[in-house]
Amino acid sequence: MKKLLRFLIAGGVGFVVDAGVLHLLLWFTPVGPFIGRAVSIPSALLATWFINRNFTFGRSDRSLAAEGFRYGSVGLTSALLNYALFSSLLMAEPGLRPIIALTLASAAATAFSFFGYSRFVFRHRQNP
pLDDT tens by residue, 7-42: 999 999 998 999 999 999 999 999 999 899 899 988
Q: How many domains does the chain have?
A: 1
Domain of 105 in residue numbering reads as 1-55+63-118
Q: Are 57 and 103 in contact (CB under 8 A)?
A: no
**Residue 124: inside a domain, yes or no?**
no
**Residue 30: inside a domain, yes or no?**
yes
Quote the CA–CA distance of 89 and 83 in Å, as a whole number.
10
**Residue 74: inside a domain, yes or no?**
yes
What's the residue count for the chain?
Answer: 128
Instruction: State the pLDDT at residue 43.
Output: 93
**Residue 128: inside a domain, yes or no?**
no
**Residue 88: inside a domain, yes or no?**
yes
**Residue 127: inside a domain, yes or no?**
no
pLDDT at 72 over 80: yes
**Residue 91: inside a domain, yes or no?**
yes
Indicate the Cα dihedral angle 21, 22, 27, 32, nearest 10°: 140
Quote the CA–CA distance of 100 and 107 in Å, as a whole number.
11
SS3 1: coil
CB-neighbour burial class of residue 77 (10 A; exposed 0-12, middle 13-18, buried 19+): middle
Q: pTM of this prediction?
A: 0.75
Question: What digits encode the pLDDT tens for the residues 32-68?
Answer: 998 998 999 889 989 999 999 999 998 888 888 988 8
**Residue 13: inside a domain, yes or no?**
yes
